[in-house]
């Protein structure tokens, strides 16, 4: 009963370093998303994917890259970390089955990332 | 583009008092609306979702929300607050059918005083 699993939970990076935030879901969901949450703000969409091999930009994609080689995994890559990328990152997934319904998204517990 | 506005970044109530968290949406068509709760250091959990079947939606933990088209509102209520309700609450709307991503309000932090 894992749902959406994110690793690591916490990370501190130096400016200019790179890292990959991992996200895995075991619900066979086609849709996956990456959001960032800044203090006092709602979540902003970074990238999303509608299925393996298909990704697209969200509202705030600059400085990030994603890939979707399998249905289960949707890693988020930071190539050159900047202080502005200090945030809490959430991965989410949802089902394709209910095309016309309000199928909710399932969220991971987040990765808290600090860039110093 | 669809969006949501949450009025009040912080709400404080006494234990046992009514909880009212406000959310207004901007949409020209009936939207897909959600309320999520976030406890400290955790991800978001779905409280309830709006379906066109009923304007009054009941969720988990005694919460409910009423969809009012005339007021473009989807306020969250709970008759009697409990200490365990202290958390951050987000109203969200599905932005478009294609990507199915959610647009979130800025959140309301609920404090419950003993």
pLDDT tens by residue, B24-47: 998 766 678 899 999 987 888 989
Q: Which of residues 69-88 of A touch B (CB under 8 A)?
A: none
State the average pLDDT for chain B.
88
Across the interface, whether the CB atoms of A42 and B42 are under 8 A apart is answered no
Residue of A nearest to B38 (CA): A109
Across the interface, whether the CB atoms of A42 and B101 are under 8 A apart is answered no
Residue of B nearest to A32 (CA): B101
Mean pLDDT of A24-47: 91
Report the b/e string of B79-107 with b at 16+ CB within 10 A.
eebeeebbbbbbbbbbbeeebbbbbbbbb
Q: When comparing pLDDT for A16 and B49, which is higher?
A: A16
What is the edge-to-edge ordering of all strands in the sheet holding A76-78? A4-7, A19-25, A76-78, A64-66
Residue A95: per-residue pLDDT: 83
pLDDT in tens, B45-87: 989 988 777 789 999 999 999 999 889 999 999 999 999 999 9
Closest residue to B90, CB basis, from A42, A50, A101: A42
Residue A100: per-residue pLDDT: 45
pLDDT in tens, B85-108: 999 999 998 866 566 678 899 999
Report the C-alpha gap between B72 and B27 in whole angstroms.
Answer: 8
pLDDT in tens, A86-106: 999 999 998 866 544 556 788
Residue A1: per-residue pLDDT: 64
Question: pLDDT exceeding 70 applies to what percent of chain A?
Answer: 92
- Identify all chain A residues contacting B65, using CB atoms and an 8 Å cutoff: none
Q: Which two tokens stand for residue B6?
A: 């949450």
pLDDT in tens, B2-26: 688 999 999 999 999 999 999 999 8
Does the pLDDT of residue A42 top 60, yes or no? yes
B113, β-bridge pairs: B14
Alpha carbon distances (Å) from B70 to A24, A84, B35:
41, 40, 20
Report the C-alpha gap between B31 and A19 in whole angstroms.
Answer: 37
State the average pLDDT for chain A.
90
Residue B36: per-residue pLDDT: 94
Cβ count near A58 (within 10 Å): 19
- Asked if B42 reaches chain A (Cβ–Cβ under 8 Å), the answer is yes
Chain B closest-CA separation from residue A43 CA (Å): 6
Closest residue to A41, CB basis, from B44, B45, B106: B106
Report the b/e string of A64-103 with b at 16+ CB within 10 A.
bebbbeebbebbbebeebeeebbbbbbbbbbbeeeeeebb
- Asked if B53 reaches chain A (Cβ–Cβ under 8 Å), the answer is no
């Amino acid at each position: 009963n894992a749902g959406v699993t994110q690793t690591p939970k916490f990370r501190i990076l130096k400016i200019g370093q790179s890292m990959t935030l991992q996200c895995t879901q075991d619900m066979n969901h086609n849709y996956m998303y990456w959001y960032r949450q800044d203090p006092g703000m709602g979540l902003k969409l970074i990238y999303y994917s509608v299925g393996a091999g298909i990704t697209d930009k969200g509202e705030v994609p600059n400085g990030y890259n994603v890939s979707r080689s399998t249905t289960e995994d949707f890693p988020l890559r930071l190539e050159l970390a900047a202080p502005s990328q200090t945030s809490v990152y959430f991965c989410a997934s949802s089902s394709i089955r209910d095309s016309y319904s309000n199928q909710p998204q399932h969220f991971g517990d987040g990765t808290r990332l600090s860039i110093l | 583009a669809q969006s949501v506005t949450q009025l009040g970044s912080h709400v404080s109530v006494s234990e046992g008092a009514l909880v009212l968290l406000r959310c207004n949406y901007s949409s020209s068509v009936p939207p897909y609306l959600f309320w999520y709760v976030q406890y400290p250091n955790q991800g978001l959990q779905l409280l309830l979702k709006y379906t066109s079947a009923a304007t009054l939606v009941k969720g988990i933990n005694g919460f409910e929300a009423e969809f009012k088209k005339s007021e473009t509102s989807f306020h969250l209520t709970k008759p009697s607050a409990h200490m365990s309700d202290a958390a951050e609450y987000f109203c969200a709307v599905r932005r478009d059918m294609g990507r199915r991503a959610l647009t979130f309000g800025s959140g309301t932090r609920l404090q419950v005083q003993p």
